[in-house]
Structure 1
Amino acid sequence: MNRQVILTSRPTGVAQAENFAIVDASSLPLADGQIRIRNRYLSVEPAMRGWIADTGNYSAPVAIGAVMRALAVGEVVESMTEKYRPGELLVGWFGWQDEAVVEQSDIVRQITEVDLPPSLALGILGINGVSAHLALTLIGEPTSGDTVLVSTAAGAVGSAVGQIAQIFGCRTIGITGGSEKVAQCTEHFGYDAALDYKAANFAGALAAACSDGVNVYYDNTAGAISDLVYPHLSVNARVVICGTAAISSWSPWPDGPRVERHLLLKRARMQGFVIFDHMDKYEASVAQLADWVRSGRLRYQEDILNGLDTCPDALAGLYRGENKGKRIIKL
């Protein structure tokens, strides 16, 4: 039998444990060209909230009754293709389940970094690290001396953005929630400064830290945090929109301060980033990130939960801020 986590109801806002169920399903036979994967690690992404929403997303929503869409690292146990052999480790769209029967199109890549933990293929060497690297370099265009401001700076994407910006010679400022994560940003991930958006003096602290302007704002939150950031953009600033975690719902569309005047006066550029538009650069990005990890220039932290039973509440816990680093479920 194959245990699976399925979506049982469409959530409003962040999915809770009651929106999922764990069911037993029969193992399926393989057809020609298919691969059977035994999952080892499952990913938990902030973007999952959008994948199960019924409107306003960049991919088709997960259907009610379907296995929860997720990246996973798994081992090939049976293959009906010559390209992949039993024993190889792959990362791909294998879902929240013990076992997956997949097409070759579901595979993102074969894991070849045998000297590094395979779980990294879901974090710093996966969609999070690649998004940080490509969005920062392609849209943010950091240059030495720039000030780079990052929201959700202690998260799997944000922590990588700050470190990569420093590799490019930038001054880095992180925005995160709580004193523990502020310390994590500066002590573990090397930010030059970190600010607690929950603090009463956040607006003042932000103004002081950004007194010379923000050249690159890597935004993972939107909402009230970003409303306070925009007045501090420098001339010709670049704003990277990688997430909107602070917006609880897009129906009805939320009101808020308008950004257009800031973009006009500062001749700033704002652009969204979705990793699926840049898959042709994925492998090269992983190779660069892996070299930085090996040399100690790029650090990471993992928040590992154990067992499929932890899946239903894993996404809600992520939005409650419980994780310290990339959230992964180990099977």
Structure 2
Amino acid sequence: MCDKTAKIGQIAPDLLAWYDVHARDLPWRISPSDGASGVVPDPYRVWMSEIMLQQTTVAAVRAYFHRFTTLWPTVADLAGAEDGAVMGEWAGLGYYARARNLLKCARVVAFEHDGRFPDDHDALLKLPGIGPYTAAAISAIAFGRPEVVMDGNVERVMARLFDIHTPLPAAKPELKDHAASMTPQHRPGDYAQAVMDLGATICSPKSPACGICPLRSPCKARAMGTASELPKKTPKKPKPIRRGIVYLARRADGALLLERRPDKGLLGGMLGWPGSDWTDAPDPAPPFDADWQTLSGEVRHTFTHFHLILTVETAPLPETLTPDSGQILPRDAFRPSDLPTVMRKAYDLWQPESL
């Protein structure tokens, strides 16, 4: 028996047997028992969950997934949705380019693929917003193809299983090779989810529960006593700090001045407050002339590549103002939940009593 076959024979059955008993109950997942009864995953729900889970926790995604699949139960429903409605429902989940690509991808699938997701990795890669990981996950989970699905949980399991001390991200190719060597032809979707579940529940970043791990016997890091220090990571550079100003204006009847941010860039396509650029020294850019008052306190928010500190300024919104840009939203049409988190923080700091 070759080394690759030996690894598959040793690891995959043990892990699948563990998964059959301990699989997490997730709203987008077909349980092992349902799968054994012939229930097949819905590619739409698999795709939706994988897009939402990018750089986001399962706990944060659950409510969004339920809401999206209730409002738009099929890819055709989502394709026909208004952009603003989808962006509003996505608000708070972060990484807003995902929401824009969600709509683009839904429309391509609905109008160019007759509402059916392609069933192979290469074809999936051609869809908007789908990269190598997402294509592999959909291929494996939705269509039963033996693709190598690599997320942070899988990387951690592989680093410990083979006692790999090369720091991430340099270790990624080596970790993927190991993962590929163990990916089975039988139940590859369940296997991919089993490795991710193992990393999320037992082979956790801190204090891994090695004593109850189904892979404790072949795990080299457990034998060497190095599991808790793996995977190693290259230290990240400190994030720079940027500053900005946002302007919150309210009319006597409660209407508010907002703007839809450009599709490209941070918070693209999202509803927010007019404001300055975000730089080391932002230039004031009030939307109209007024006696703007600076609120005490400030808004702090962290993006992937920098920390942001916002000053909040307020003024009454003139009754007859026609803004050069943005929109005046009536009080009953405004939902704070439609705002991205950083803009919601500015609103919460303001907290106008009459709204």
What band does the TM-score fall into relative to the shorter chain? under 0.3
Q: Under a length normalisation based on structure 1, what TM-score does the superposition of the two structures give? A: 0.24
Q: TM-score, normalised by structure 2?
A: 0.23
The structure with the largest alpha-carbon Rg is 2
Greater helix percent: which structure? 2
- More strand by percentage: 1
